[in-house]
Amino acid sequence: MSKKETVYVVSDSVGETADMMVKAVTSQFLGQDVDIKHFSYVENQQDINNVITVSKYTHSIIAYTIVLPTLKQYLDQRAEEEGIIAVDLMHPLMDAFTQKFNIEPNHQPGQMRKLDENYFKRVEAIEFAVKYDDGQEARGLKQADIVIVGVSRTSKTPLSMYLANKKFKVANVPLIPEIPPPQELFTIPRKKCVGLIITPEKLNSIRKERLKSLGLTTPANYASLNRILEELDSAEQIMKKIGCPIIDVSNKAIEETADVILAMFNKRGSFA
């Protein structure tokens, strides 16, 4: 039976990257028992000295991902002085990137975790947009970062998904004359809400195309101009009651409308 060896995974962040790489390499040495120990959030020379001391005592390998140049250099120097094998898992690739891209890395620890956090925030926002799409579960209005209101076919859903991809939790509510809007709509801060309007002619054209795509060729009240005028008038009255800003989306792409909303939001940290 082979002797159990120790590898110290050292990082100025969590050390997940180094841990995965060491495990991948270990898997290539079947029958060799390897104990992986961690030194995370290394941030000064004393931390490095602690790693060097235990590694020398146990005759261990150090595998590290340290992006701060001064700490990396100090670890390399101390490892060489003590005859310890220290393997830099990050800088060879960083150097290749620097040479290829002709730019310098920012040398900030924890960037991978920040990317992961952004990813999970985006997923959470998308799940929120799906859950609270089209007026589902009015209780979500209070949890939303942005609430979008408007009549049918004003691009509320694709706009919600676009904003969700920017990590905003968005709920949208359809405004229909015969159905009173949820009371929560009038209790949330107006700074969170934005109304979408559109010209009757543009909406008429969009709805006719929608009916055609569904295979409905007979005249429908949904696409009649009189019905559309009634819906738009009712919707504007509700928006005025809420006190939210109103955006005309008649000739705007989803991205343009989103930019307008975000500009409102960023102006004073709100829509107000």
SS (H, E, C) 78-94: HHHHHCCCEEECCHHHH
Residues (pLDDT < 70) of the chain are 1-2, 107, 109-116, 217-219, 268-272
Question: Given this model, what pLDDT does residue 177 score?
Answer: 96
Does the annotation flag 150 for ligand binding?
Answer: yes
CA dist 246 and 141 (Å) reads 18
Does the annotation flag 153 for ligand binding?
Answer: yes
CB distance 252 to 197 below 8 Å: no
Does the annotation flag 113 for ligand binding?
Answer: no
CB distance 32 to 24 below 8 Å: no
Does the annotation flag 151 for ligand binding?
Answer: yes
Does the annotation flag 234 for ligand binding?
Answer: no
Does the annotation flag 156 for ligand binding?
Answer: yes
CA dist 124 and 169 (Å) reads 8
Question: Given this model, what pLDDT does residue 272 score?
Answer: 46
Does the annotation flag 40 for ligand binding?
Answer: no
pTM given for the model: 0.61
For 87-141, the pLDDT digits (tens) are: 999 889 888 988 988 888 776 766 655 656 777 888 899 999 999 999 988 888 9
For 56-70, the pLDDT digits (tens) are: 999 999 999 998 899
Residue 188: CB partners within 8 Å, gap ≥ 6? 141, 142, 144, 147
Domains of the chain: residue spans and CATH = 5-109 (3.40.50.2300), 119-268 (3.40.50)
Does the annotation flag 215 for ligand binding?
Answer: no
